[in-house]
Structure 1
Amino acid sequence: MRKQFTLILGGARSGKSSYAEAQAAALDGGVLYVATAEAWDEEMAARIAAHRSQRPATWRTLEAPRQIGAAIAAALTPDVACVVVDCITLLASNVLLSLPEKSDEATAANALLAEIDALLAAYAQSNATWFVVSNEVGLGIVPAYPLGRHYRDALGRANQRLAAAADRVVFMVAGLPMTIKS
């Protein structure tokens, strides 16, 4: 199978990660699982531990909350046939929370798009099939506070950039995949 880039979008608990993991498990070769979550509290630490325990022991995990492109590029080895990035949503949170408190929308968008460009550059240099997971956050209400609006807009732009570069885009609803680009 030639390498392919698949973006998997959907809402919270729509089945995005399970779908990405099932797709990766169906391929031959090593899997590099790129986790972007940071354990800011006990509940998040428990979620991370649960996710980690559910993955096959043969998969290699790379924790990359920021500077994801460089981290993946450094971790790619010839045995990596598949990369799963879970998820851009938390990467966006990490990037925006690392900015100065009064950053504007353009600063937020540019910081996240720089991460996305670095991720796409790592994909271009790899021979692996990639599954990238991200939430679609543009279907809800307009956030009531500036950071929420910056987050929604930056993630929306990041998802657009990823979708444009992707070979396939899958939208998950209630655990059901709908291919919207192939």
Structure 2
Amino acid sequence: MGPAGRSRHPANPRACDRPGPAAVTPPRLLVLGGARSGKSAYAERRVRAWGSPATYIATAQAFDDEMRARIAQHRQDRGPEWVTLEAPLDLPAALAQAIPHGQPILIDCLTLWASNLLLADRAPEDEVAPLLAALAACPLPVALVSNEVGLGIVPDNALARRFRDAVGRVHQRLATEVGEVVFLVAGLPMTVKPPQ
């Protein structure tokens, strides 16, 4: 019994079976574009709007001086307050590792992730389901950046064609699941899928 002898149960016993308010899904944004299209800068601005600092999940591997310089420039552009996690292959584990930071997350980029997977003899298409499951379990806003590689000529070798096709399929799977897709051209964002 509750206060003043009243029952703690509702007058309508079925009231407990009613669903509560729907859970709000945090934003999921996929940003696509060509090389030097402004996609990373755009994604960073969007993530900052969700809250700063943020967590940056990097898929790049520094195999040469040019790539090391590019990575250093991106870190400098973001600023020291961003947490950086490196995940060339295991994005689901990196997402789980990012959750305790409690900050919006930026994954950059899926194209390098797909390349890393192919070089490790893993099919990027097979890794999308675990990534989607990790995104569904993540209570934080997440932006994902990727290069659109399917707008050019057909590559002249089998590995390059395999890469192009795999990235295209990864993009299609993600685009159906995320709440928003934006395509960058010459630094200008074009909404492909409005926020859901």
Q: TM-score, normalised by structure 2?
A: 0.83
Say which of 29, 45, 51 aligns to 1:22.
45
Say which of 64, 69, 72 aligns to 1:46.
69
Say which of 119, 125, 131 aligns to 1:119.
131
Correspondences of 1:134-153 after superposition (within 5 Å)? 134-153=146-165
Correspondences of 1:102-181 after superposition (within 5 Å)? 111-181=123-193
Q: What amino acid is aligned across from residue 117 of structure 1 in structure 2?
A: A
8 Å CA contact 2:27, 2:141 repeated in 1: yes
Higher relative contact order (CA 8 A, sep 6+): 1
The structure whose residues are more often strand, as a share, is 1
8 Å CA contact 2:95, 2:138 repeated in 1: no
Cα deviation for residue 171 of structure 1 reads 0.6
CA separation in 1, counterparts of 2:177 and 2:62? 30
**SS of residue paired to 2:135:** helix
CA separation in 2, counterparts of 1:36 and 1:165? 21
**SS of residue paired to 1:77:** helix
1:103-129 CA deviation, whole Å, 9 max, x = no partner?
xxxxx6xx2123322222111111111
- Measured at CA, do residues 3 and 20 of structure 1 come closer, stay the same or move farther in structure 2, by a change above 3 Å? same
User: Paired residue for 2:56?
Assistant: 33
Residue 85 (structure 2) pairs with residue 73 (structure 1):
no
Q: TM-score, normalised by structure 1?
A: 0.89
**SS of residue paired to 1:177:** strand
Q: What amino acid is aligned across from residue 63 of structure 1 in structure 2?
A: E
User: Paired residue for 2:80?
Assistant: 57
1:114-170 CA deviation, whole Å, 9 max, x = no partner?
332222211111111111001111110000000000000000000001101111000
Structure 1 stretches of 5 or more lacking a match? 100-107
Spell out structure 1 runs of 4+ moving beyond 6 A. Answer: none
CA separation in 1, counterparts of 2:45 and 2:98? 22
CA separation in 2, counterparts of 1:129 and 1:21? 12
Residue 118 (structure 2) pairs with residue 96 (structure 1):
yes
8 Å CA contact 1:7, 1:170 repeated in 2: yes
**SS of residue paired to 2:50:** coil
Moved more, 50-59 or 127-136: 50-59
- Measured at CA, do residues 174 and 114 of structure 1 come closer, stay the same or move farther in structure 2, by a change above 3 Å? same
**SS of residue paired to 1:139:** coil
Q: How many residues align?
A: 171
1:34-80 CA deviation, whole Å, 9 max, x = no partner?
11000111111111111111112211111100011122213311622
Q: What amino acid is aligned across from residue 146 of structure 1 in structure 2?
A: A
Q: Which of these two proteins has the greater Rg computed from alpha carbons?
A: 2
Percent of residue pairs identical: 51
Residue 34 (structure 2) pairs with residue 11 (structure 1):
yes
RMSD: 1.5
